[in-house]
Amino acid sequence: MPELPEVETVRRGLLPAMKGKAVLAADIRRPDLRFPFPERMAERLTGARVLGLHRRSKYILADLSTRETLLIHLGMSGRMLISGVMPGVFHQEHPAPAKHDHVVLDMEGGARVTFNDARRFGAMDLMTTALAEEHWLLRDIGPEPLGNTFNEEYLVGRLKGRTMPVKAALLDQRIVAGLGNIYVCEVLHRARIDPRRKAGQISAARVAGLVPIIRDVLNEAIEAGGSSLRDYRQADGELGYFQHAFRAYDREAKPCVTPGCTGTVARIVQSGRSTFFCPRCQR
C-alpha cells in the first residue's frame, strides 16, 4: 500500500492538472471500489472547481468550490494518472479507457485525471469541507510526522508504558499518521532499534531520537518520488526511486550497511507483515 511519501508525491503531481481548475465532466464507471461511491457523485463533481489539494496521512483531499471535499485513497494498487495537457510540460492524446479505469475526471485546461485500481481496494468519498476532520476515515488519525505537533515530547508520551513492539506502535495511525511497513523498517534500522522491543521499554532519549530520523527518511523518500515495488506510479506514470536507497527493507540476507556493522539483514514476520532488520546492530 502506498505510504506517506508515495501519496505526497501523487498529490504534488496532480497540482498542475487540478488546482484552480474546474471539473468539466466526471465519468464514474462502477458503483464502488472498497466502499460504495457517494450518491450522485458525478453530478456533485461536475462543474466544481478544485480550490486546493492537500494530504492527510495516506489520503489525498481535494477541496472544492461547492464546499465539499473529495477524499481519495489509493488502496493497494490505485493510481491517479494524468493525460492530455500538462502546463509547460507536454501534450499527449488521452489513451483509450483501460479495464480498471474506474473514475475519469476531465479538467478545465485539457487534462484528464483517471483513477485506475486493479484490485479495487482504493476509495473515494465526498464530504462537507468544514467537517472533513470528522470523517470516519480521518477522525482518529494522529499528527502528521512532518508537522509541528509531532515532536519529541509527544512521541515519548505516546509510547510510554506501551507493551506492543515498537514497530507496531509506529504503524499505529492513531499515534502517527502515514507511516507504513517500508518506512518504519527504514527508520528503526537507522535508529538501531530492534523492531521487536516493547515500545515502553525504550529509553526516552532513544524514542525522542526517532522523530528527526522519521522526518529525514520521509523527506528523502518524497524527494526520490517514493518507492516503486509493485503497483505504485507517480501521477505522470514514472516510477519512484527510493527503493534503490533502502538500507533494510527487502534486503534479506544482504550485508548490513550500517558503518562498522558486520551483520546481515534478517526477515521476520510481525502481525502478518515482513520486518527487515539487522539483529547485530539493532538492539
Q: Where are the beta strands (DSSP E) in the chain?
A: 23-28, 50-56, 59-64, 68-73, 78-86, 90-91, 101-107, 111-117, 123-128, 266-270, 273-277
At CA 152, angle to CA 147 and CA 156, rounded to 5? Answer: 125
Select 4-134's CATH number: 3.40.50.720, 3.20.190.10, 3.40.50.300, 3.40.50.360.
3.20.190.10
Which tens digit of pLDDT belongs to each residue from 263-277? 999 999 998 999 999
End-to-end CA distance of the chain: 28
80 SS3 class: strand
Quote the CA–CA distance of 101 and 113 in Å, as a whole number: 10
Q: Catalytic residue at 134? A: no
Percent of the chain past pLDDT 90, that is, above it, reads: 82
Cα-based distances in Å from 108 to 14, 43, 61, 69, 72:
13, 16, 19, 18, 20
Q: Catalytic residue at 36? A: no
Q: Say which of 3, 6, 8, 186 is annotated catalytic.
A: 3
Which tens digit of pLDDT belongs to each residue from 4-49? 999 999 999 999 999 999 999 999 999 999 999 999 999 999 999 9
φ, ψ dihedrals at 230, nearest 5°:
-130, -80
25 SS3 class: strand
Which tens digit of pLDDT belongs to each residue from 200-257? 999 999 999 999 999 999 999 998 888 755 554 555 556 555 778 899 999 999 999 9
Give the residue extent of every domain in the chain: 4-134, 156-277
Quote the CA–CA distance of 122 and 75 in Å, as a whole number: 4
Q: Which fold has domain 156-277?
A: Helicase, Ruva Protein; domain 3 (1.10.8)
The pLDDT of residue 174 is 98
Dihedral angle of Cα 62, 143, 177, 267, to the nearest 10 degrees? 160
Most confident of 88-97, 170-179, 216-225: 170-179
Dihedral angle of Cα 222, 227, 233, 239, to the nearest 10 degrees? 90
The string over 193-225, giving b where at least 16 C-beta atoms fall within 10 Å of a residue's C-beta and e elsewhere, is: bbbbbbbeebeeeebebbbebbeebbeebbebb
Q: Say which of 58, 167, 190, 251 is annotated catalytic.
A: 58
Q: Say which of 2, 16, 143, 165 is annotated catalytic.
A: 2
Q: Say which of 162, 197, 267, 273 is annotated catalytic.
A: 273
pTM of the model: 0.90
Residue 66, CA atoms < 13 Å, CB-side half-sphere = 17
Do 4-134 and 156-277 have matching folds?
Answer: no
The pLDDT of residue 88 is 52
Q: Catalytic residue at 252? A: no
The pLDDT of residue 49 is 98
Q: Catalytic residue at 2? A: yes
Cα-based distances in Å from 104 to 65, 69, 98:
19, 17, 11
